[in-house]
Amino acid sequence: INTKVVENEKAIEDEKAMMKSEQEFYLDIIGIIFQDEISYRLRFPFYRSVIPHKDLADIDSCFNFHSIDCKNPKYWTQGFISLQSSIDSALIERITNHSVWEEMTSINGIRMKSPSLKIGSELANSVFLWTLSLCFAPFMYFLALTVSREKRKLKEVMKTMGLRDAAFWLSWGLLYTIYISIPSVVLTFCLKATYFYLSSNSILFVLLFLYGISSICLCFMLSSLLKKPRTTSFVIFIFTFCLGALNIITTIRLIPPSLELILSIFCPFAFGAGLSKVLYFQKYGRTFDFTDLMLEPYGYCLLIDSILYMLLAFYFDKVVPDKYGVPYPPLFFLKKTFWCKPKSPYTGNVPTSEWSHGSIFSDNTEPVPPEFDGKEAIR
């Protein structure tokens, strides 16, 4: 063992780089950085220690502590505890003039059984949730493509039939609700059998189904805003892909809960955050049931997202109309006339004689036979 005193922490990096250039890979550099006379930090190579972050580290089960696959006891087997105990013993002896080395060497580790802990990697879980957030991407792509193409023609036909705009959105929404319910059931049983084995089927189905509903409403909103079919489909896919990638930070818990709640306004993020909570419960052997779902905000966030996207779809459909429509002012919903339609001004008495018909119609108009009195209507 060779020791060398350097001026600062950067000199350790320079020493390590010099050893690497001389191809002395069999040597390890261990740094001891003293912050004052008592406090210090240890710098070990990454392969001789475990990740200190509890959400990034793996949970493994070791039947043989000396196996190379057993990562958690590296603090004991790779010299970290021995070096720390030696430094602590020297510091205590320097301050108190009393040797405690024998007490330090008598410290032993006891293996505690934890059958409830499950083997898993947070990084692998985050990549899996990212992939799972794209489960409805093909449906949403074709929905956005079809709605953007058919909306121009069908909405005008439906208006001539006396139907409201909501009938158009309702018809497509009900159709694709049936479409997403089928893969939601299939995915629920597959995920239960392979990955989320400690959660209930109903929880997985509710999260998947609510995510599908909010994705449908998101397609409606973007199709009302962008209008062009291919542009809308492309934006839908990129939106889901990029926001699904944010599930990585929810799995390793690098953001505060307040920011996580704000980002839940995007349905792919809310869906991934909900499933990451299920995995967090499963990691420590707990079952995630309906009571836990009611206490967490993710199910409510998906419902709020669906309502918000649908309201924005109606708004953009009025403000940014197609080439056949007339644009509404941006604040049209604040006007009383939008909510309370004016009644028809025709409230006069019904004519009951030819004399009254003559007083209404001119000579250029054919008189109405008396049997049609009281049957006037506007279509």
Q: Where are the domains of the chain?
A: 9-103, 119-322
Q: Is the pLDDT at 134 greater than 80, yes or no? A: yes
Residue 256 CA to residue 246 CA, distance in Å, equals 13
What is the pTM assigned to this prediction? 0.64
The most confident of 83-97, 217-231, 300-314, by mean pLDDT:
300-314
Residue 226 CA to residue 232 CA, distance in Å, equals 6
The burial of 370, by beta-carbon neighbours within 10 Å (0-12 exposed, 13-18 middle, 19 or more buried), is given as exposed
Query: H helices then E strands: how many in the chain?
Result: 16, 2
The most confident of 29-33, 69-73, 138-142, by mean pLDDT:
138-142
Per-residue pLDDT at 65:
55
Contact 275, 207 (CB under 8 A): yes
Instruction: Name the phi and psi angles at 122, rounded to 5.
Output: -65, -35
Residue 268 CA to residue 237 CA, distance in Å, equals 11
State the pLDDT confidence band at 346, using cuts at 50, 70 and 90.
very low
Tens of pLDDT along 245-257? 887 777 777 778 8
Per-residue pLDDT at 214:
93
Structure tokens at 33: 């950085």
